[in-house]
Each structure stands twice: as structure tokens, then as C-alpha cells.
Structure 1
Amino acid sequence: MNSRGLLDQLLKSGQDLLQKQSGNKSGSSAGGGLNSLLTGAAGGALGAGALGLLLGNKKARKFGGKALTYGGLAALGVIAYKAYGNWQAQQANAPQGEPQTLDRLPAPQVELHSQAILKALVAAAKADGHVDARERQLIEGEFSKLTGDAELQGWLEAELNKPLDPADVSRAATTPEMAAEMYLASVLIVDEEHFMERAYLDELARQLKLDPALKTELETQVKLQQNAG
């Protein structure tokens, strides 16, 4: 299955999402933000619609702000590479050698990383408890518009319907760099000021066995990107 293309669309659609929601503020009634996304233009708006439903209105707007300078899957790899490299330079006991983040890997490995990151993204979106049965159906409908890959659609449906379990998410990480990318994507998605979501992030980092200094560096890189936007 091709999770790489879908993940790239979702990450890039943050900018589209922010523009749609900003434009909607002046001309629509309250509560119309996500409805406008779902009935809006095709193309990037489809990704924004799926992302908006997945995240919920409040979080979607925050993600849009973070994503303005983010750019997509390759950019996520670049930022993970920078964070991992900074951590290596500061920690004598860190693994040495060039970080093998997804921006530096051949296509088959990029697909493995993408599936793990997509798994982390879906789980992080559920961390505030807003995704109920009705919303899952709507999200699945939006995903079906983005990809005709039946295997991927089935996998996404299974992930959406799973109980939230950081231990299950962490098992998808087969390298330290993949763990770093999964955590980075999760930080992008959650509202860190929300108690449940902060607790989820902390538990995910523990299950991923992230060094505390690497965890901090990944969070710092997200903040730097957000401030740059």
C-alpha cells in the first residue's frame, strides 16, 4: 500500500486548511468551518477536509499554523534530521553516524517510515477523545477521496477504530530515527496545553524509548518552525 502519498498530502494540506478556516471566519455562521472544508473546492481542499475532521476544529487551526513552514513529508524528514543531529552532537552516548531519516532513504524504506508516521498521526489526533463513531465514518469517507488504495483504506479504518494505545503505536518504530519522526509528527498534531494530549505525548515518548534530551530537541524544532511561520 502507498501510505507515503497520503501522508504527504495530509502534511501539505495544513496550509490549505488554515486558509480555508481564515476565509470562513468572516462570511459563515459559527460551526461552519469544517462543513465549508467538506463542501469546498477539490484538490488541496480534500486533504484539508480529511485533516480538519481528523483533528477537530480547534486543533486543526493550530496545525495549520504549524504547517505553514512545514511543507510535507520531505520537510518532516529534514527537521527530524536536524533535531537528531543536534541531539547526537550534545550527547556523548548517542548513536553515531549520519541520521537515516526519511529524507535520506530509498523509496521502500521511506514507505515503511511513512506508514509508521501515519499510524502515529492518526493516534495523536485521537488523543483528546473527540473522534467518535460518526466522525470516524466521515474521516474514512474523506480518506477514500484521497486514495483509491483499498488496502490503505482498510488499514486506516482499522487504525481509526483501535483504542488509543501508545505502546501499540511505538511498536511501529524499528529504528531510533523512525521513533523520532513519529514523535515529531505527534507533536505537530496535539495541543500540548491540553492535559490529556500532553499526557499522551509523554507516554508515547516513554514507549518509543526516546532519550529525554532528544524529546526536548524534537519539541524545540517544532516551536522553531512555528515561530518561523
Structure 2
Amino acid sequence: MDAKSFLDSILNAGKDLVSQGQDLAAKNLGVPAEGDKKDAMLSGLGKGAAIGGLLTMLVGTKVGRRLGRTALKYGSLAAMGGIAYKVVSDWQKNRDGELSGKPILELEGAAAQDRSLLLLKAMIGAAKADGHLDESEMDRIDAQIASMNLDAETVMMFKNELSKEPNVGEIAIGVDSPAAAAEIYLTSLMVLDVDNQAERKYLNDLAMALNLDQELVSQLEKEALTEV
């Protein structure tokens, strides 16, 4: 499974979990409440259930709750990318300019994989913005990811990103268009409530690194932070 498929599966699994309720999902899967037995059982499930299991593992955390709500709202990677593209396109039209770059739903092959890896990096960086994910949680997430039959490039990216401090500059290096920048920022908002100074600073730094106009940032935040 490549990075794009994995991102899409996260949103689809998250939508299902939020719709059903985390407790019901855990009950239906027969997942133990916590600990090694829970991780082992999740690791033995199929791809789709394992991704749902990863979100079940995270749903007790702030990151997991936010991601679940976002998944319910967008439902798919194509929908999220389409919304980001519309926001930045509308913003560009007000400036009588043409939008450069393509949304992720129009990318294929290596270009789609590169954009998807970048979005996953943004998601992980945002999740770690306030230090909420401790070493134990990151180890468990890492182990769960390893069980999902992801392609080697995606697994390596996860291991690298989970092991280091968030770096908005590294994320911005891979951005090649306003469309990509908008997707990166919106994806980062998927896992943040922006309810503390560390998260706000991270987003401010990210917007600056992505060279996003403040009005566009405001529009993306308005879209992302609107309740489902």
C-alpha cells in the first residue's frame, strides 16, 4: 500500500470510527482496552481494520479526536485536496491571477506518491507540535504502522519523522506550488485544535515557511476549524 492509499484509508477509517463511536468500534473489533494485547490484536487485523485500529488507538488522545472529526468532515483524500484547492483558487481569483500546481486528486504515479509523503510528514509534524505524543505513544504507533504492509518508502518516512523534532523548513522544501502549500497547511490543521501557544506558533512558522498569504491562511483555518 502506497502513501496516497494510506492517507485515503486514514480518512475513510476515521469517518467510520467517528460515525459509529470509538467504543462501539473497539467492541466490534474485539480490541482489548489497552496495552500489549491490544497492540498485538490490532497488528493481526487486515489492512482496513488495522488502519481503523490505529485510529482507535489514537482516539483517546487529542490528536486522534481531532483527526477523527476531520475524517468525518472530509471522508477522503480527494475531498480534502479538493477543498484546499477551491480555497486557494478562490483566493487567487480575487487577485486576478492563475493558480499554479495541481491538487493531489489530479496527480498520478511518482508525483502522487511524493505529495502524499509530504502530507504525511505535515500530519506527523503537526501531531508533535506541542509534544503531546510521548515516546511510548510514538513507539506504539510505529509498531502499528509496521504491521500495515505499507511500501518501504512510506514506512521509512514514518520512522524518520516520528524520531525527530518537527521541522517546518523540511516540509516546505518539497512544496512546489500554491496548491501543494494549501494542502500541507490544511492537512496540518487536521490534527490540531490550535488551543495552545505551541500549536499556534507551529502553524505560524509553517505558514511563513510555505510563503502563504495571511488572508489565505485565515480562509484555510476557517474551513478546517468549522465544526462538522
Decide: shared fold, TM above 0.5: yes
Partner secondary structure for residue 68 of structure 1: helix
AA partner of residue 165 (structure 1): N
1:180-199 alignment runs, 5 A limit: 180-199=182-201
Say whether residues 1:71 and 2:75 are aligned partners.
yes
Shift, 1:175, TM fit: 1.7
Distance 1:63 1:34 in 2: 22
RMSD across aligned C-alpha pairs, in angstroms?
2.9
AA partner of residue 81 (structure 1): Y
Deviates more, 1:203-212 or 1:43-52: 43-52
Shift, 1:143, TM fit: 0.9
Partner secondary structure for residue 158 of structure 1: helix
Partner of 1:109: 111
Q: Identify the match of residue 212 of structure 1 among 203, 211, 214.
A: 214
1:29-48 alignment runs, 5 A limit: 32=33, 38=39, 39=41, 42-48=46-52
Partner secondary structure for residue 173 of structure 1: coil
Partner of 1:5: 5
Distance 1:36 1:191, change over 3 A: farther
Distance 1:14 1:25, change over 3 A: closer
Shift, 1:36, TM fit: 9.8
Unaligned runs of 5+ in 1: 27-31
Distance 1:176 1:164 in 2: 22
Unaligned runs of 5+ in 2: 28-32
C-alpha contact (below 8 Å) 2:59/2:68 kept by paired residues: no
Deviates more, 1:124-133 or 1:207-216: 124-133
Distance 2:111 2:93 in 1: 25
Say whether residues 1:49 and 2:29 are aligned partners.
no
Distance 1:169 1:51, change over 3 A: farther
Partner of 2:63: 59
Distance 2:80 2:86 in 1: 10
Distance 2:155 2:213 in 1: 34
Shift, 1:84, TM fit: 1.1
C-alpha contact (below 8 Å) 1:81/1:99 kept by paired residues: no
Partner of 2:148: 146
- Percent of counterpart pairs with the same letter? 33
Partner secondary structure for residue 193 of structure 1: coil
Partner of 1:23: 24
Shift, 1:138, TM fit: 0.9
C-alpha contact (below 8 Å) 1:117/1:182 kept by paired residues: yes
Shift, 1:118, TM fit: 0.8
Distance 1:73 1:35, change over 3 A: farther
C-alpha contact (below 8 Å) 2:100/2:177 kept by paired residues: no
C-alpha contact (below 8 Å) 1:84/1:99 kept by paired residues: no
Shift, 1:52, TM fit: 5.0
Shift, 1:116, TM fit: 0.9
Distance 2:36 2:75 in 1: 25
AA partner of residue 23 (structure 1): L
Distance 1:55 1:112 in 2: 27
Distance 1:55 1:189, change over 3 A: farther
Distance 1:59 1:148 in 2: 22
Distance 1:77 1:134 in 2: 32
C-alpha contact (below 8 Å) 1:17/1:49 kept by paired residues: no
C-alpha contact (below 8 Å) 2:126/2:191 kept by paired residues: yes
TM-score (norm 1): 0.82
Q: When the two structures are aligned, how many residues end up with a matched partner?
A: 220
Partner of 1:29: none
TM-score (norm 2): 0.82
